[in-house]
Amino acid sequence: MSRRRFLLAGAAGTLAALLSRGAWADSPQLAKLGKPAPAFDVADTTGRRHTLAEFKGKTVVLEWTSPSCPYAAAQYTSGRMPELQRWAKDKGIVWLTVLSTHPSRSDYLKPADAEAFNRQRGGTPTALLLDGPGTMGHTYGAATANHMFIVATNGTLVYAGGIDDSESRDPKEVATSHNHVRAALDDMLAGRRIAVPSTDPFGCAVSYAG
């Protein structure tokens, strides 16, 4: 089995397990391309709560991440993720990094530790959201660290998928990859239809409750 198929199979298995346990039973809405993005209300590392509604009229990028995943680490070690975050913020784009790691998991970080971790790796999002219960992650169907979503200014979900085409935990490969999120944002800023609105996510499965 190829690395890509292995990773996707692992993510699919995790999602299937969540569904079988009814993890989405309380989710009022599931994310769907071309439809209004699901609402959320999640606290950041400072305790301030953020909602999708507060960013009405702005493009919003959602980045699921992990403190233990080498695929997520490669995005930061390569410099690509921090660079993209800074570029997006300069364009007036809201960038929300999301940790949906459940408190029962070994790689769970308390707010202060999560903030320190993100600073250490060079992250500069608008906010780092702590979705410990996994409500936001389940609603969006976030399967892996580096699973990315873009919400357009009208509130529609316009991109869902992987960060790039590297499918790698090697920073050198990441550095030379084609970044799907940057390409989608470039299309949006130029007033073009997004050429590739959906790709397969890859990486470590999100650490939801076991």
For the structural domain made of 3-23+31-189, what CATH number should be given? Answer: 3.40.30.10
**Taking a C-beta distance cutoff of 8 angstroms, is the pair 39, 172 a contact?**
no
Q: pLDDT tens, 43-83?
A: 999 999 999 999 999 999 999 999 999 999 999 999 999 99
pTM (predicted TM-score)? 0.88
3-class secondary-structure state, position 106: coil
Which residue did the predictor score with more confidence, 133 or 7? Answer: 133
CB atoms within 10 A of CB 35: 12
Q: What pLDDT score does 29 carry?
A: 55
Name the token pair of 77.
């070690």
Q: What pLDDT score does 12 carry?
A: 41
Q: Is 16 a residue whose pLDDT tops 80? A: no
The torsion of the CA quartet 30, 68, 109, 107, rounded to 10 degrees, works out to 90
Residue at token pair 């493009």? 59
Q: What pLDDT score does 22 carry?
A: 35
Q: What pLDDT score does 30 carry?
A: 84
Q: Is 14 a residue whose pLDDT tops 50? A: no
Share of the chain above pLDDT 70, in %: 86
206 Cβ contact list (under 8 Å, min separation 6) = 14, 64, 66, 100, 101, 134, 137, 142, 143, 144, 145, 147
Q: How confident is the model at residue 173 (pLDDT cuts 50, 70, 90)?
A: very high
Q: pLDDT tens, 78-120?
A: 999 999 999 999 999 999 999 999 999 999 999 999 999 999 9
Range with top average pLDDT, 2-16, 17-31, 98-112: 98-112
Determine the Cα angle at 99 with ends 59 and 204, to 5°: 105
Q: What is the mean pLDDT of residues 182-188?
A: 98
Tell me the pLDDT of the chain averaged across its residues.
Answer: 89
CA neighbor of 146 nearest in space, from 67, 210, 78, 66? 66
